[in-house]
Amino acid sequence: QAAPSSMDVPTAGQAAAAPQRKAWEWEGRVVSPVPAATADEAWALLSDFLAFHKWHPRVAVCRLASSSGAAAPGCVRYCEGTPPADGTPADWAHETLLEHDQARRFFRYEMNDNNMGFGAFFAAFRVVPAAAGGCVLRWEFECEPVRGTPKEALEARLQAGLDGMAARVHEHLMAGGRR
């Protein structure tokens, strides 16, 4: 039997009642502290599945791509990165929201079609209180390997994005944007 997932909620590859889950070749987690924000303050800013572009420094576009009309489980978002200076196409992906839990401050999603080489990719984003005060942003993933990319490069890319999100939350709150 596979070891428990790094995510403490069922993954999209696992039915809620299933006794076993798919063993993913790549699993990981990146974290970034936000000492100046409570978990509730950070979650209030980051919980909107369709506002990823407001907080992630490398995402220029994030919009609803399904006819559901709202950011609810089952909706699909389209995300597009900032265009590279060399003129190559920007990264893009369609992602389906699988679960959104306000009380536990997390959402889980699946990346669908994309131009970055991902096959199966599932992720959870959560905001948790930090023991020393403030909060921690946590991005967990399970996926098939991306051909030509080492796992460490994926983790570094996710870490850089999460660090940028933490910095933007900090800047927003320090500028008087507390909710």
User: At CA 74, angle to CA 95 and CA 179, rounded to 5?
Assistant: 80
CATH number at residue 50: 3.30.530.20
Q: Side chain identity at 163, as an amino acid letter?
A: D
pLDDT tens digit sequence for 70-85: 889 999 999 999 999 9
Could you tell me the residue range of the domain that residue 51 belongs to?
A: 27-174
* Residue 61 structure tokens: 């576009």
In a domain, 33, yes or no: yes
How many structural domains comprise the chain?
Answer: 1
In a domain, 5, yes or no: no
Q: Which positions ≥6 away from 67 have C-beta within 8 Å? A: none
Dihedral sign of CA atoms 131, 47, 55, 121 in order: positive
d(Cα 160, Cα 176) in Å, to the nearest integer? 25
Distances (CA, A) of 141 to 24, 31, 44, 64: 10, 12, 22, 22
pLDDT tens digit sequence for 46-64: 999 999 999 999 999 999 9
* Residue 155 structure tokens: 């983790």
pLDDT tens digit sequence for 86-109: 999 999 999 999 999 999 999 999
